[in-house]
Amino acid sequence: MRYKTNKYATVILNVALTCFTFVSYSYAEDVHPLNALDGENWQLDPSRSDEFNGTSIDYNKWIKAPKHVQTWSWDNDNNAKLSNGQLSIQMTYSPHSRNISNACSQGDSIPNSALYFKSAMLQSKAAGTIGYYEARILGSKKFLGFSLLFGCIASSMTHN
């Protein structure tokens, strides 16, 4: 993945209901979006770049235990794996309970809610939304209706 310097929010890589893989590949030194204007100078920001070509997830760049979101529970230790230049994120059946926020009641919490699945989320430690972000993502072939997310969200999402 490639990123340009940013300032205001946090980049989130998130899987909602499925397994998917981030595939790393060598990239050219000339990093820029396809719609860049001639003469624009785009600089690769190493704090936002991860080709996933190591032997383990680089938790110097990613938050290892991101905050749970509504009914989504994250377990990066068991559901995010790095192998052969590919990051694989899976969802597993894992009955558990915790308090969840109830968006329909102005944020009141629903205590001890029964939940059944856990997945993984890589949330960047680098803040910012302005710039060019790129990822190569392979979704689930088995359950095409399941969703995944690659994007930017407000910095109010902080880690535990």
Cα-based angle 126, 55, 94 (whole degrees, multiple of 5)? 80
In this structure, is residue 136 part of a structural domain? yes
pLDDT confidence of residue 117: 92
pLDDT confidence of residue 115: 94
pLDDT at 53 > cutoff 60: yes
In this structure, is residue 5 part of a structural domain? no
Sign of the four-CA dihedral 148, 150, 156, 160: positive
Mean pLDDT of 136-141: 78
Q: How many helices (H) and strands (E) does the chain have?
A: 1, 10
In this structure, is residue 31 part of a structural domain? yes
Q: How confident is the model at residue 147 (pLDDT cuts 50, 70, 90)?
A: low
Alpha-helix residue ranges (DSSP H) falling in 21-114: 76-79
Mean pLDDT of 84-100: 91
In this structure, is residue 84 part of a structural domain? yes
Bridge partners (DSSP) of residue 14 are: 121, 149
Stretch among 44-48, 69-73, 144-148 having the lowest mean pLDDT:
144-148
Please indicate whether residue 152 or residue 120 has the higher confidence score (pLDDT).
120
In this structure, is residue 75 part of a structural domain? yes
pLDDT confidence of residue 156: 52
In this structure, is residue 159 part of a structural domain? no
Number of domains making up the chain? 1
Say if strands 80-83 and 86-89 run parallel, antiparallel, or are unpaired: antiparallel
pLDDT confidence of residue 93: 94
In this structure, is residue 160 part of a structural domain? no
Its domain, for residue 19, covers: 10-92+119-153
Q: How confident is the model at residue 82 (pLDDT cuts 50, 70, 90)?
A: very high
In this structure, is residue 114 part of a structural domain? no
